[in-house]
């Protein structure tokens, strides 16, 4: 089967690899129908996330069950299935607390280990999914692949940022970054009826999409977002700021836009340390929450998508056959043609 493989010297290639087959309990063999390119795939390609060359990459995928091990209860051949970006065991202390993103034996597709097995990536024709009953989710008939694929990664993460920020009715919220994660955070925040929702980015097409999701947009290349937000909120600041970029500048702007006692909820991943002004932050009483997205919210999110209460179909801007994966990466890496989410069809 064909798969996107990490090669030495920060290169990717479409290569022929063996098709996996079921060899243990709890497994389903998924024929991938749609897989997406994520910013993390570029971090892997460029060596910022260290992965061994020779690994198949990709962690966002949906597909159809081709075969299920006899003990699998929830899936049978022909079922459409959404698989989360990382898997969890359900029984370790983190899982028992409901924090499945910190599962002690969990792993992410294309690099991690799960149940003692190295998990290959999902930009491939087939993926063998262990622990399917625990982590995977059936896709309702009225939910497209393009919508379902977001549930298992960027939507789960955006929603997590909103929940961790404690957004409630009447709150003021600022979302820094209108990439897939930030846009999903904006749509998720709207579920909780904030009074005002600001969205900050530097790219006009992404700001336009944020506006279509009901946000008041701020172009950070034109104004200082924190000063602008203070001016819009009687110099008080927002209740919740969400950081979905992963840069020192947006981290500081997020803090600078908060009211006293407000919460900065961070899901952006940082490549460098950031200095904290603790003397002032302590007096302002701000709370900072950060971490990986909890994909245990998937079932709830799939239900919201299926019932038309969350619609993020506008995020998918481009679709390529898997055979043109290199062209798709070229477009995504250089943000050509206003791309946001790029799908690959094996
Ligand atoms: P992305 O790169 O598509 O989005 C980042 C956005 O930030 C872009 O739209 C960019 O234009 C904008 N931006 C850049 N500079 C800015 C500035 N100065 N002010 C405002 N906006 C600015 O990435 P994404 O896929 O949306 O992911 C966002 C972040 O979330 C990344 O750091 C990613 O690694 C992280 N992430 C975290 C998790 C998790 O579990 N915590 C999961 C997925 C992604
Ligand atoms: Zn991803
Ligand atoms: Zn666990």
Q: What CATH number does residue 70 fall under?
A: 3.90.180.10
pLDDT 10s digits, 77-115:
999 999 999 999 999 999 999 999 999 999 999 988 887
| DSSP per-residue string spanning 102-139 | G-SS-EETTT-EETTEEPPPSSBSEEEETTHHHH-EEP
Whether residues 79 and 198 fall in one domain = no
Q: Where are the beta strands (DSSP E) in 46-116?
A: 60-68, 80-83, 86-87, 107-108, 113-114
Contacts of 213 (CB under 8 A, 6+ apart): 183, 186, 187, 190, 199
The confidence score (pLDDT) of residue 114 equals: 84
Rounded distance from Cα 154 to ligand 2 centre (Å): 6
pLDDT 10s digits, 277-288:
898 898 999 999
Query: Are the CB atoms for 136 and 149 separated by under 8 Å?
Result: no
Q: How far apart are CA 133 and CA 129, in angstroms?
A: 10
* 37, part of any domain: yes
Whether residues 121 and 168 fall in one domain = no
The confidence score (pLDDT) of residue 112 equals: 82
pLDDT 10s digits, 131-154:
999 999 999 999 999 999 999 999
Query: Are the CB atoms for 7 and 20 separated by under 8 Å?
Result: no
The confidence score (pLDDT) of residue 271 equals: 83
What mean pLDDT do residues 301-325 have? 97
The confidence score (pLDDT) of residue 301 equals: 98
Whether residues 175 and 124 fall in one domain = no
Token digits for 295? 């994909």
Return phi, psi of residue 49, to 5°.
-110, 110
Whether residues 165 and 286 fall in one domain = yes
* 219, part of any domain: yes
Whether residues 130 and 179 fall in one domain = no
Whether residues 174 and 109 fall in one domain = no
| pLDDT greater than 80 at residue 55 | yes
Among 201, 266, 318, 338, say which to mutate for ligand 1: greatest number of ligand atoms within 8 Å of CB.
Answer: 201
Return phi, psi of residue 172, to 5°.
-105, 135
Q: How far apart are CA 42 and CA 46, in angstroms?
A: 6
pLDDT 10s digits, 188-226:
999 999 999 999 999 999 999 999 999 999 999 999 999
| pLDDT greater than 90 at residue 48 | no
Q: How many domains, in total, are found in the chain?
A: 2
Nearest atom in ligand 1 to the alpha carbon of residue 182 is 26
The confidence score (pLDDT) of residue 10 equals: 93
| pLDDT greater than 90 at residue 116 | no
The confidence score (pLDDT) of residue 160 equals: 98
Whether residues 114 and 208 fall in one domain = no
* 335, part of any domain: yes
Whether residues 229 and 324 fall in one domain = no
> With a 6 A CB cut-off, is 181 part of the ligand 1 pocket?
yes
Whether residues 262 and 174 fall in one domain = yes
The residue segments making up the domain with residue 251 are 160-290
Token digits for 120? 């290959």
**Cβ neighbourhood burial of 280 (10 Å; 0-12, 13-18, 19+):** exposed
Contacts of 249 (CB under 8 A, 6+ apart): none
The DSSP output letter for 18 is P
* 49, part of any domain: yes
* 87, part of any domain: yes
Whether residues 51 and 112 fall in one domain = yes
What mean pLDDT do residues 289-315 have? 96
| pLDDT greater than 90 at residue 186 | yes
| Plot region of 88 (φ>0 → left; ψ -120 to 50 → alpha; else → beta) | beta
> With a 6 A CB cut-off, is 158 part of the ligand 1 pocket?
no
* 318, part of any domain: yes
Token digits for 110? 């294309």
The confidence score (pLDDT) of residue 111 equals: 84
Q: Considering only CA atoms, which of 270, 285, 201 is closest in space to residue 239?
A: 285
* 305, part of any domain: no
The confidence score (pLDDT) of residue 49 equals: 86
User: If pLDDT is split at 50, 70 and 90, which confidence band does 34 have?
Assistant: very high
Residue 174: CATH number of its domain: 3.40.50.720
Rounded distance from Cα 316 to ligand 1 centre (Å): 16
The confidence score (pLDDT) of residue 118 equals: 87
Whether residues 61 and 173 fall in one domain = no
Percentage of the chain with pLDDT > 70?
A: 100
Nearest atom in ligand 1 to the alpha carbon of residue 266 is 41
Whether residues 130 and 38 fall in one domain = yes
* 302, part of any domain: no
Residue that has been written with the tokens 């979905």 in this structure? 244
């Amino acid at each position: 089967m064909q798969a996107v493989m990490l090669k030495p010297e920060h290169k990717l290639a479409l290569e022929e690899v063996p098709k996996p087959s079921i060899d243990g309990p709890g497994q389903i063999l998924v024929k991938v129908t749609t897989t997406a390119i994520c910013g993390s795939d570029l971090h892997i390609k460029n060596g910022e996330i260290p992965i061994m060359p020779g690994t198949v990459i990709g962690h966002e995928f949906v597909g159809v069950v081709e075969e299920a091990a006899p003990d699998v209860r929830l899936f049978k051949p022909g079922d459409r299935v959404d698989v989360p970006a990382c898997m969890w065991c359900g029984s370790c202390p983190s899982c028992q607390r409901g924090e499945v993103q910190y599962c002690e034996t969990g792993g992410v597709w294309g690099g991690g280990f799960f149940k003692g097995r190295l998990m290959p990536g999902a930009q491939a024709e087939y993926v063998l999914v262990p622990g399917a009953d625990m982590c995977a989710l059936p896709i309702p008939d009225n939910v497209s692949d393009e919508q379902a694929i977001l549930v298992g990664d960027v939507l789960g993460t955006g929603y997590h940022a909103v929940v961790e920020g404690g957004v409630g009715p009447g709150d003021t919220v600022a979302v820094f970054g209108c990439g897939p994660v930030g846009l999903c955070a904006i749509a998720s925040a709207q579920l909780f009826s904030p009074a005002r929702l600001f969205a900050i980015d530097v790219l006009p097409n992404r700001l336009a999409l944020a506006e279509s999701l009901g946000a008041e947009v701020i172009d950070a290349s034109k104004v200082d977002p924190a000063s602008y937000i203070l001016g819009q909120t009687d110099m008080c600041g927002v209740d919740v700021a969400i950081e979905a970029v992963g840069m020192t500048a947006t981290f500081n702007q997020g803090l600078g836009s908060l009211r006293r006692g407000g919460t900065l909820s961070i899901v952006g991943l940082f490549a460098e340390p950031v200095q904290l002004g603790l003397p002032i932050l302590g007096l302002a009483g701000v709370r900072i929450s950060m971490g990986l997205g909890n994909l245990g919210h998937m079932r709830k999110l799939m239900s919201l998508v299926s019932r038309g209460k969350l619609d993020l179909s506008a995020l998918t801007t481009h679709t390529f056959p898997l055979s043109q994966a290199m062209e798709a990466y070229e477009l995504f890496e250089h943000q050509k043609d206003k791309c946001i989410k790029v799908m690959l069809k094996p």
